[in-house]
């Protein structure tokens, strides 16, 4: 069913009434094959949060599903390294992570090539 929907241009990031994406649902149900299929979609948002503030990665950790956690972690690592190699602006990956609440950037000036002060949020 998921393959059919994706082939017919379904919104891979659509959410239900609890703001759960297909990726979050696949992770919570332990559906590795569906997780793999969803991660192959170019516009998948692995950082989306549900009504409880949790991401698919959070649920993989919570359910102790090491296989799915590894898949999501590798996807994030690959996408982050692609962004680092494509972007000439060193702040862009940090700004992206700030947007999703992963890190907090206190100061940065692109014009003066200042050093970035980045702190991981807990």
pLDDT tens-place string over residues 55-73: 999 999 999 999 999 999 9
Domain ranges for the chain, please list them.
2-86, 87-122
Residue 57 CB burial class (10 angstroms; 0-12, 13-18, ≥19):
buried
**pTM score, whole prediction:** 0.66
48 versus 116: the higher-pLDDT residue is: 48
Dihedral sign for Cα atoms in the order 11, 71, 119, 122: positive
Q: What is the pLDDT of residue 32?
A: 96
pLDDT recorded at residue 116: 47
| Residue 12 and residue 34 in contact, taking contact as beta carbons nearer than 8 Å | no
- Cα separation, 63 vs 59, whole angstroms: 6
Rounded to a whole number of angstroms, the distance between the first and last alpha carbons of the chain is 37
CB 102 within 8 A of CB 121: yes
pLDDT, residue 9, reads: 87
CATH superfamily to which 2-86 belongs: Ankyrin repeat-containing domain (1.25.40.20)
């Amino acid at each position: 069913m998921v393959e059919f929907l994706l082939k017919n241009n379904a919104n891979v990031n659509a959410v239900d009434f609890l703001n759960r994406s297909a990726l979050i649902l696949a992770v919570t149900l332990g559906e590795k094959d569906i997780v793999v299929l969803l991660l192959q979609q170019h516009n998948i948002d692995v950082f989306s949060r549900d009504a409880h503030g949790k991401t698919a990665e959070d649920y993989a950790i919570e359910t102790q599903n090491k296989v799915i956690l590894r898949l999501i972690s590798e996807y994030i690592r690959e996408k982050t390294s692609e962004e680092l190699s494509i972007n000439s602006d060193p702040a862009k990956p940090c700004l992206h992570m700030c947007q999703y609440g992963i890190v907090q950037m206190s100061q940065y000036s692109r014009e003066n090539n200042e050093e970035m002060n980045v702190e991981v949020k807990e």
